[in-house]
Amino acid sequence: MNRSWTTILLIAGLTGLLVLSGALQYRWLKQISESDNEKAHRRVQEQAERFAMDFNREIQNSYFNFQTGADTWAKKDWSEFNERYDYWREKTAYPGLITDFYFLGTGPNATSLRYDRQARSFAPVEENSEVANLRSRFADSNNFRPVQADIYTLLLPIHSEGQKTAGPIMIRTPSPERRPSISMPPTVGYLAIKLDPAMIKNDLLPDLTAKYFADGEFRASITDKAGESVFQAVSGDARDATVPLFNVAPDNFIFYANKDLMDKIGERRSDVVVSQKVETHSFNRVQSNTDKDSGVKIEIKKDDSKPRTSVFTATTTTTSDRPGDSPWTLNVQHVYGSLDAFAASNLRRNLGVGFGLLFLLACAIVAIIISAQRVKRTAQRQVDFVSSVSHEFRTPLAVIYSAGENLADGVAKEDGQVSRYGDLIKGEGRKLSGMVEQILDFAGANSGNKKYTLTETAVGEVISDAIEACRPLIDEKSIAVETNIATLPSINADKNALTQAVQNLLINAAKYSNGGTKMRINAANGGGNIKISVEDEGIGISKVDLRQVFEPFYRSREVVDAQIHGNGLGLSLVKQIVEAHGGKVQAMSDPGKGSTFTIELPV
């Protein structure tokens, strides 16, 4: 009982440990997955922002490099423009990015000019549909945008010289009731910078994709405001990173380094930003957070410095940094559909592997426990076997010893008495020899060293020999043997081994007859197999014992309690012999009414 409780507690403890291990494993793997997913989101967002920064920088270089004063266009002195163009081509990695330049003047007598690369100068151009389309882009100054992504064009306003100012610039947020405006110089024209779509799609964007997403883990696509694909495409709606693209607003431009401040100026005038080049040693900025309704006041304190003032173009709108208001949007998506889906898949896989290992561990523990129980049962059966064999040996040895002692002491002097003692010794010796042979056969079969000599064997002879070998026991039990042997073909078998198998069935039928007076032996050919059955009217076998009756050393508790002699090897030997011949043995029983054992052998 103590051992049983120990086993139960051990199983319960191991089960609890496995459940706890599974719970901790799930928790830790989930935490690791969430942490890795968060890091991956940050990493891909940073890569997307760097992608956009590099792309925008290339566009900004193509934009800001050609900012010239109004006098350049008034005097038609193209030397400064040519220097800027040469400098840009020397520094850029994509000299073919810009395909053309147009200068579109404003005013009643406005003219249109086109840059001639061969002559390195601007020449008048007819007012064709392309020029008309360009002029329509800046006709409404309130809705002006420097980037015209649909026609791959940058529009650069050219302003006349404004009033020169000097002194340190102080920027502060006034009270809501004070809303001063900024007076901007008039626009004398626009420089249209035409970009090459093929260069952008076939060179610039693929190079950036290879630079930041070369491992193939992510797909990068670019869409316009309408959601139409500009470069590549991704499936589904999931996006792991979204960054505005095609933005010419610099991150740091003189004192307008704060984009929030640029937005505030843009609320009053979204198409122009003033850049003051102030040569002074005094520059103080006081900045505070402002709400949408507050304005921005720029106060200039004059001093004796000699400043130089120039006007540059606007580069931002009030919401230029928002993806929905940008001409293009960079979308990055994991090849699995999304980072969240990829992380969930990894988590499921890791959990599957982890729980699979725990399941294998649980199976191993169960197998060990089952094996231990089997070993325990086998050990107990071996003890019972030794006990029963000792008892089986003791009885014939005692008879032989007693008969020999009587003969030696001269108790039996008559020839008849001596003959009876001799027959007694002979019978008990045969019994001992049979038990020893049975044990040796079992040992040989289990070791795999048992060799069978297969010859053409008649089944009828096997049954007859087995009956004759068991005749003394059958006669002792007063059992009538009924045989029903059909005409059968010969089989390829070891006659002695097969006879022993049938003999063991007959011995069991007689031993457990429990007063039964009949035993039936049938042999028939059916289904391509020869079937030999031995049927008795003995004590029968319970359903529980029937499942283990062919196991070595097994004897039911009822048999042991009834003190029926045996060693538990007979039926195990029958099974080994029959299976060695390619057959099988089956048992059917009705407790209290008898049992039937059937041997099936292939023809």
What domains can you pick out in the chain, each with its CATH number?
39-337 (no CATH), 341-449 (1.10.287.130), 451-603 (3.30.565.10)
pLDDT at 172 over 70: no
Question: Mean pLDDT of all residues in the chain?
Answer: 79
Cα→Cα distances 337→40, 237, 240, 453, 454, Å: 14, 9, 9, 69, 68
pTM: 0.56
Higher-pLDDT residue of 269, 178: 178
Q: What sign for the dihedral angle of Cα 402, 406, 407, 413?
A: negative
Residue 338 has pLDDT above 60, yes or no: yes
Weakest-pLDDT range from 49-53, 263-267, 518-522: 263-267
Better-scored residue on pLDDT, 229 or 410: 229
Give me the pLDDT at residue 125, please.
92
Over 90: is that where the pLDDT of 216 sits? no
pLDDT above 90 for 122: yes
Q: 22 in helix, strand or coil?
A: helix
Contact (CB, 8 A) for 229 and 221: yes
pLDDT digits (tens, 9 = 90+) for 541-583: 888 888 888 888 777 777 776 667 777 778 888 998 899 889 9
Region 391-400 average pLDDT: 76
CB atoms within 10 A of CB 75: 10
Amino acid at 193: I
- 368 vs 316, 375, 551, CA distance in Å? 74, 10, 20
d(CA 234, CA 323): 17
Nearest of 113, 52, 121, 63 to residue 88 by alpha carbon: 63
What integer pLDDT is reported at residue 570 of this predicted model?
83
Q: Please count the other Cβ atoms lying within 10 Å of the Cβ belonging to residue 488.
A: 17
Q: Which residue has the tokens 């031993």?
A: 511
Is the CB of residue 523 less than 8 Å from the CB of residue 463?
A: yes
462-519 confidence digits (pLDDT tens): 999 999 988 888 888 888 889 898 888 888 998 888 998 998 899 888 888 877 788 9
What is the share, in percent, of the chain residues with pLDDT greater than 90? 27
Instruction: Name the more confident of 163 and 68.
Output: 68
Q: Which residue has the higher pLDDT, 137 or 259?
A: 137
- Selected residue with higher pLDDT from 335 and 170: 335
